[in-house]
Amino acid sequence: MELTLWKRWLLVGVAASTFNAAAWAADKANVVILATGGTIAGAGASTANSASYQAAKVPVDKLMLSVPELARVARIRGEQVFQIASESFTNSHLLQLGKRISALAKQQDVDGIVVTHGTDTLEETAYFLNLTVHTDKPIVVVGSMRPGTAMSADGALNLYNAVVVAASRDARGKGVLVTMNDQIDSGRDVGKGINIKTNAFASQWGPLGMVVEGRNYWFRAPVKRHTMSSEFDIDKLDQLAPVEIVYGYGNVPASLYEAAAAAGARAIIHAGTGNGSVADRIVPTLQSLRGKGVQIIRSARVPAGFVLRNAEQPDDKHDWVVAHDLNPQKARILAAVALSQFSDSQNLQRVFWEY
């Protein structure tokens, strides 16, 4: 059920003195908060529990009420799309969420959208939306590293900053954004780098900007194709191609790649060492799978840098694709979207350069 912050305040009997009438002035933006669960909606056993807690416990109405300052920024309403920990996200969840965002973005009474999300797969969802939702309205994905019950909880400020960005005209046209730890990052670039600190999310190319005391400060803009300029459209996308990731390591067996192909994978992301390196004993297996129509995409398990085409393997000779600077999980998202539309390796490599 859709809930407005104003209606909820009336229902719970919040004193009139806490209501800022100016917040509902005609010039305030309309922002919809779509809640999906995660740590930002989590609860721990005590205030000392910042790393051990239960995710996806707090519903969207209570989440909004926990940050009354939101009313000074925009007119808010919320929807509970899912209530799950983000490691449980599937392709079906991505499609459902994307279609709901697309529908909301078409409404004249919606100026921006915030998605609250667990941090484990937040970067994947943000990139998927960046690829598929055709709108120039701000879409901001936000989470937290600590539950709201922790004494050092980060979710309230992260959510406040997300609404600030979603309500801002200067955030339009910049693709899907992620606001964590005062930073504004591109949903395309950002990744989770640590699991127990509030500065967990970063891009190797740096943030797009920052939010400080309710104001946006921008320093760069995305250059890769996204949202309005994307050839992929969530409204025409009903399923994602099956794509699997195989993690490279010193003793990795060829049977893992064969098993992924046998399970129906149309592409395999090789999360290789270094520059997407492939062990010599694995090369014949990947060549054979490519000959059977499975796309082979070389990514890297290292957290920074990018995979150079033909630098570690003769990709042209093998008809393999390189993921450029996309990590394995984001490479999976792009391949799953792209292969739902075409199947040739030339176009697949093109989109890895362009997106």
**Last residue within a domain, chosen from 201, 229, 257:** 229
Q: Is residue 237 part of a domain?
A: no
The pLDDT mean for the chain works out to 91
CA distance 66 to 177: 23
Query: In terms of domains, do 286 and 194 share one?
Result: no
Q: What is the mean pLDDT of residues 56-61?
A: 86
Query: In terms of domains, do 254 and 335 share one?
Result: yes
φ/ψ bin of 97: left (φ > 0), alpha (ψ from -120 to 50), beta (otherwise): alpha
For the cut 60, the answer to whether the pLDDT of residue 343 exceeds it is yes
CA distance 30 to 110: 5
For the cut 70, the answer to whether the pLDDT of residue 2 exceeds it is no
CATH number, domain containing residue 206: 3.40.50.1170
Q: Is residue 215 part of a domain?
A: yes
More confident residue, 229 or 43: 229
SS3 27: coil
Q: Is residue 94 part of a domain?
A: yes
Q: What are the residues whose beta carbons fall under 8 Å from the beta carbon of 306, sequence distance 6 or more? A: 300, 324, 325
More confident residue, 39 or 316: 316
Domain with 285, as residue range(s), is: 242-354
**Nearest Cα to 266, choosing from 286, 294, 238?**
294
Q: Is residue 12 part of a domain?
A: yes
Query: In terms of domains, do 36 and 139 share one?
Result: yes
For the cut 80, the answer to whether the pLDDT of residue 26 exceeds it is no
Q: What is the pLDDT of residue 50?
A: 60
Query: In terms of domains, do 168 and 258 share one?
Result: no
Query: In terms of domains, do 277 and 136 share one?
Result: no
Q: pLDDT digit string (tens) for 255-302?
A: 999 999 999 999 999 999 999 999 999 999 999 999 999 999 999 999
Return the bridge partners of 75, or none. 30
Q: What is the pLDDT of residue 54?
A: 77
Query: What long-range pairs does 46-51 form, CB within 8 A, spacing at least 24?
Result: 46/149, 47/149, 47/150, 47/151, 48/150, 48/151, 49/147, 49/149, 49/150, 50/146, 50/147, 50/150, 50/151, 50/152, 50/153, 51/146, 51/196
What DSSP string describes 272-340? EBTTTB--TTTHHHHHHHHHTT-EEEEEESSSSS-PPTTTSS-HHHHT-EE-TT--HHHHHHHHHHHTT
CA distance 204 to 225: 18
The count of domains in the chain is: 2
* Residues identified as active-site: 39, 119
Express as a percent the part of the chain with pLDDT over 90. 84
Count CA within 13 A, CB hemisphere, residue 257. Answer: 30
Q: Is residue 45 part of a domain?
A: yes
Query: In terms of domains, do 64 and 201 share one?
Result: yes
For the cut 90, the answer to whether the pLDDT of residue 44 exceeds it is no
Q: pLDDT digit string (tens) for 104-153?
A: 999 999 999 999 999 999 999 999 999 999 999 999 999 999 988 778 89
Q: What is the pLDDT of residue 52?
A: 59
Q: pLDDT digit string (tens) for 201-228?
A: 999 999 999 999 999 999 999 999 999 9
Q: Is residue 119 part of a domain?
A: yes
Query: In terms of domains, do 214 and 309 share one?
Result: no
- Supply the pTM of this predicted model: 0.91
Q: What is the pLDDT of residue 175?
A: 98
**Last residue within a domain, chosen from 184, 204, 229:** 229
